[in-house]
Amino acid sequence: MQTADIHRRWLTYFGDRGHTVVPSASLVSDDPSLLFTVAGMVPFVPYLTGLVPPPFPRATSVQKCIRTLDIEEVGKTPRHGTFFQMNGNFSFGDYFKEGAISYAWELLTSSEADGGFGFQEKDLWVTVYKDDDEAIALWKKIAGLPDERIQRLDMDTNYWSTGQPGPAGPCSEIFFDRGPAYGADGGPATDDDRYVEIWNLVFMQYLRGEGQGKSFDILGELPKKNIDTGMGLERVAFIKQGVENMYEIDQVRPVLDHAAEISGRRYGAVHEDDVRMRVIADHVRSSLMLMSDGVTPSNEGGGYILRRLMRRTVRAMRLLGVDAPSFAELFPASRDAMKAAYPEVGTDFDRIQRLALAEEETFLRTLASGTQILDLAVLKTQESGAKELPADTTFLLHDTFGFPIDLTLEIAEEAGLTIDRPAFDALMLQQRTMAKADARAKKGSIADLSVFGEFRALGETVFTGYEYLQTESTILGLIVDGNSVSAAVTGQIAEVILAETSLYAESGGQEADAGTIVGNGFELEVLDVQKPVKGLISHRVQVTSGEVSVGAEATTLVDQDWRRGATQAHSATHLIHAALRQVLGNEAHQAGSYNKAGYMRLDFSWNSALSAATRSEIEEIANLKVRENLEVDTRIMNLDEAKSLGAMALFGEKYGETVRVVEIGGPWSLELCAGTHVARSSEIGLINVVSETSVGSTARRIESLVGLEAFRDLAAERAIVSELTSNLKTPRENLPDRIAELVANLKAAEKRIAQFEAAALSERVPSIAANARSVGSVTLVSENVGSVASSDELRSLVQSVRERLGAVPVVVALAADVAGKPAVIVATNQAARDGGAKAGALAKIAAGVLGGGGGGKDDIAQGGGSDLGAIGAALDAITAAVSA
């Protein structure tokens, strides 16, 4: 049974039984606490927890998921994958335990001819929460399972909650017995490799209180009990296809086979190679699916996870003996295996492949440069006699260069060294702790989402801002410090929930509106407007006067200048995006945007800098569209209808069944967008592209000023040009040549000055060398030479003096004032080093006296500090060290 057939049978079975078939949500989660959709129930959490009223009583889906917590187990077990698909059926206060168990048993055990999965009843076991007698009775009644195939397990495996106060309840898991060849008898409680969990039924029936781990109070039963189930599609697939693990199913195996072919290794011959091929197959598929949902490789967030998956793939290919690029073969194999279930990976493959190849090329260069750094670190460690690479070196390689720690370990072991893994892990933990603290700080301004449940239950916030800048409304709720309150007074910061609002909430790259909320006896300054949960708008305000209370009438007032600037900027973003695609082609796809009054920023998929001519062409096309005074048409329509018209759905955006389409100049610019826009393109005024920069190996960023801000910037440039033409007495059109001439003259003058200074220094060499004296067994020069322009000049002087003194044991230590700071450079010749004089050690001694640091090689080294008055003492310290 092919994976796509399992997918189809699932949706057909539950769709025929009154479940609304819900398409898979994006892998990029709406939940601000999650990077990715990590389970099939994630898109339904607002309905399951009661935060948002469910739009249907029962639903079913096959949800794409990404989970990387067990990434180190990928390839080692039959069931761990970073990308997986979760079949789910959900009930929101509709059917409960009996219905869930009945559906599960019927679908599993019905014949394939009847649309079921055709499992034999004798091969299925179930586990239940140890105190859930009701579930045990139902399994006996519905499935006729004997006691020995129903096992009671503890809370850690068979009880579900979010870990916070809220819904909770027992669960029941269904396992398939693979037979005695895979492990000991005795059921799921004894051997997890023989008994494969294929389906988990969660019975949300209780309200839990505060507590940690297993210790929390049950406050009572939920007024509406919910069902959340999840069947692992890949697990069922490998069982039904008669293969050993999820990496060998029809959607994954082709990549594994390509990895074997490229490497010349045979799958099934060597265990370590098998694990590497499975890692490659899993990670290529995961990367393909992430990029199809708009994730691009980067150093933060979801992009970092994607980059890690792709680099682990390169690493695994390297361990298979393949140093050359391989993504050009691996990704098409995954595309062909997945496009039947997810057609978008085929239609968008050119962009995906370009991202993949660019990332692979970048990492192969990283490996080359990182290997050089690591080789140098290994050499220094060996020369010092140590047996362990410093943790700061391994962390630098990992954090800055993206060099995998296991590759560092391998190279170190080949050199007879170890790495300080505990210290490395401590540095990684410190970094993660800082990142989590930063994330908490960024989220601190928004109240805990659970507090919004009572307000969302009253209905969706009506946004009137497309038509009106002023709207009369009623205050439904106030939140202060995360708690619902009845009133807020002057000086307090609060979140305000209104029935209607004309204030735009930040979304789609557009910053929230500025404005005020006023009512009888109070005025509120709007600091931010957000959508904390789907369908609800929250206004973060400061009470500037009076007292505001729940139930009061209020009027939202949008700052007209701000909104005008924001609409100009957002419409300009659409024009720049369309101009980019006209000039560069459809591969230049928007990958993120930000706009506010007077400013727009657009990130787009591209891996090379734009020439000045290309940048100017894009800017001119956009401004010509402004001049054409094109109508900006907005329409509300069904999502499928919008896509059939060619409207672009931008990555990172979430769309419902009904969408808003913004059209500028017909099909030239046609996008799904909920932002605010001008009525005609001429209202944008002026678009001034001010920069085009890199934001990663596969993305560029273009920034523009818009409207009045664009005019002001050009006026400022005009003033600068006017001043230059006046001061240089040169017409504007000749300024570039005149400035180039002045720069060339300046460089020539600087070169001549440097030559004079070098000659002057050379003339000092004989007199400095003449001051040499015997100290112990060496000839020592120790002198303060005054002020020099740079440390390089001082170094050249030291080396010249050393050469002049010949082959006798020589130590030269010269100090100087370099740009107001003391510097000392020490040089030794081979005869002095043979006698034990080391330049690095001597420079370190001098630097300590100067109040700084220093060191270097045995033949030449440098030190510095902050105390110019200590130069004499520093040179005396060197003399004392040489004579010791």
* pLDDT tens string 537-556: 999 999 999 999 999 999 99
Same domain, 812 and 870: yes
Does pLDDT of 653 surpass 60?
no
283 is in an annotated binding site: no
Average pLDDT over residues 497-523: 95
- Lowest mean pLDDT, pick from 90-94, 380-384, 603-607: 380-384
Whole-number Å distance between alpha carbons of 57 and 64: 22
What per-residue confidence (pLDDT) applies to 815? Answer: 93
Query: Which residues, including other chains, have CB under 8 Å from residue 264's CB and lie 6 or more apart?
Result: 321
Average pLDDT over residues 864-875: 90
Q: Is residue 112 part of a domain?
A: yes
What per-residue confidence (pLDDT) applies to 525? Answer: 96
Q: Is-contact 682 696, C-beta < 8 A?
A: no
Q: Is residue 752 part of a domain?
A: no
Q: Bigger pLDDT: 308 or 281?
A: 281
What per-residue confidence (pLDDT) applies to 446? Answer: 37
Average pLDDT over residues 358-384: 81
Same domain, 43 and 180: yes
508: domain CATH number? 2.40.30.130
Same domain, 782 and 653: no
Average pLDDT over residues 115-124: 95
What per-residue confidence (pLDDT) applies to 439? Answer: 40
Does pLDDT of 809 surpass 90?
yes
Same domain, 23 and 52: yes
Does pLDDT of 443 surpass 50?
no
Report residue 637 as tokens: 């329509």
Q: Bigger pLDDT: 861 or 369?
A: 861
Average pLDDT over residues 416-430: 81
Which residues, in sequence order, are bridge partners of residue 221?
206
Same domain, 553 and 568: no
Does pLDDT of 119 surpass 50?
yes
Does pLDDT of 190 surpass 90?
no
673 is in an annotated binding site: yes
Query: Which residues, including other chains, have CB under 8 Å from residue 249's CB and lie 6 or more apart?
Result: 3, 234, 237, 238, 241, 243
Using DSSP, state whether 776 is helix, strand or coil.
Answer: coil
The pLDDT mean for the chain works out to 89
What per-residue confidence (pLDDT) applies to 466? Answer: 95
What per-residue confidence (pLDDT) applies to 753? Answer: 84
Whole-number Å distance between alpha carbons of 42 and 63: 9
| pLDDT interval class at 441 (50, 70, 90) | very low
Does pLDDT of 447 surpass 50?
no
- Between strands 58-66 and 493-498, the pairing is unpaired
Q: Which amino acid is at 448?
A: D
Same domain, 95 and 119: yes
What per-residue confidence (pLDDT) applies to 445? Answer: 36
Q: Is residue 230 part of a domain?
A: yes
| pLDDT interval class at 408 (50, 70, 90) | confident
User: What are the Cα distances from residue 237, in Å, to 39, 84, 86, 248, 655?
Assistant: 18, 11, 12, 9, 31
Same domain, 663 and 812: no
Q: Is residue 751 part of a domain?
A: no
Whole-number Å distance between alpha carbons of 202 and 244: 28
808: domain CATH number? 3.10.310.40
What per-residue confidence (pLDDT) applies to 156? Answer: 86
Query: Which residues, including other chains, have CB under 8 Å from residue 194's CB and lie 6 or more apart?
Result: 177, 178, 179, 180, 182, 183, 184
539 is in an annotated binding site: no
Q: Is residue 717 part of a domain?
A: no
Taking phi over 0 as left and psi of -120 to 50 as alpha, with beta for the rest, 462 belongs to: beta
What per-residue confidence (pLDDT) applies to 437? Answer: 52
Whole-number Å distance between alpha carbons of 140 and 128: 12
Same domain, 16 and 150: yes
What per-residue confidence (pLDDT) applies to 425? Answer: 79
Residue by residue, DSSP assigns 262-307 as HHTPPTTT-HHHHHHHHHHHHHHHHHHHHHHTT----SSHHHHHHH
What per-residue confidence (pLDDT) applies to 522? Answer: 95
Same domain, 169 and 231: yes
Query: Which residues, including other chains, have CB under 8 Å from residue 303's CB and lie 6 or more apart?
Result: 295, 296, 297, 696
Same domain, 231 and 263: no
Average pLDDT over residues 458-479: 94
Q: 524, 540, 558 — which closes off a domain?
A: 558
Query: Which residues, including other chains, have CB under 8 Å from residue 437's CB and lie 6 or more apart?
Result: none
What per-residue confidence (pLDDT) applies to 436? Answer: 47
Does pLDDT of 386 surpass 80?
yes
Q: 692, 709, 726 — which closes off a domain?
A: 709
What per-residue confidence (pLDDT) applies to 432? Answer: 60
Q: 693, 709, 725 — which closes off a domain?
A: 709
Place of tokens 């440039």: 717
| pLDDT interval class at 401 (50, 70, 90) | low
Q: Is-contact 471 502, C-beta < 8 A?
A: yes
Whole-number Å distance between alpha carbons of 389 and 373: 12
115: domain CATH number? 3.30.930.10
- Between strands 493-498 and 500-501, the pairing is unpaired
* pLDDT tens string 765-795: 899 999 999 988 899 999 998 888 888 888 9
Domain that holds residue 619: 563-709
| pLDDT interval class at 442 (50, 70, 90) | very low
Which residues, in sequence order, are bridge partners of residue 546?
522
704: domain CATH number? 3.30.980.10
**pTM for the full model?**
0.72
Using DSSP, state whether 174 is helix, strand or coil.
Answer: strand
Does pLDDT of 58 surpass 90?
yes
**Helical H segments across 612-734, by residue range:** 612-627, 639-644, 708-728
What per-residue confidence (pLDDT) applies to 440? Answer: 40
Does pLDDT of 558 surpass 70?
yes
Does pLDDT of 138 surpass 70?
yes
677 is in an annotated binding site: yes
Same domain, 569 and 496: no
Average pLDDT over residues 54-66: 94
Q: Is residue 724 part of a domain?
A: no
**How many CB atoms sit inside 10 A of residue 260's CB?**
20
Q: Is residue 529 part of a domain?
A: yes
Q: Is-contact 554 501, C-beta < 8 A?
A: no
What per-residue confidence (pLDDT) applies to 526? Answer: 96
Strand residues in 535-686 grouped as ranges (E): 536-549, 553-558, 590-596, 599-605, 632-638, 658-664, 669-672
| pLDDT interval class at 654 (50, 70, 90) | low
Same domain, 144 and 239: yes
Q: Is-contact 175 198, C-beta < 8 A?
A: yes
Structural domain tally of the chain?
5
Does pLDDT of 402 surpass 70?
no
Q: Is residue 758 part of a domain?
A: no
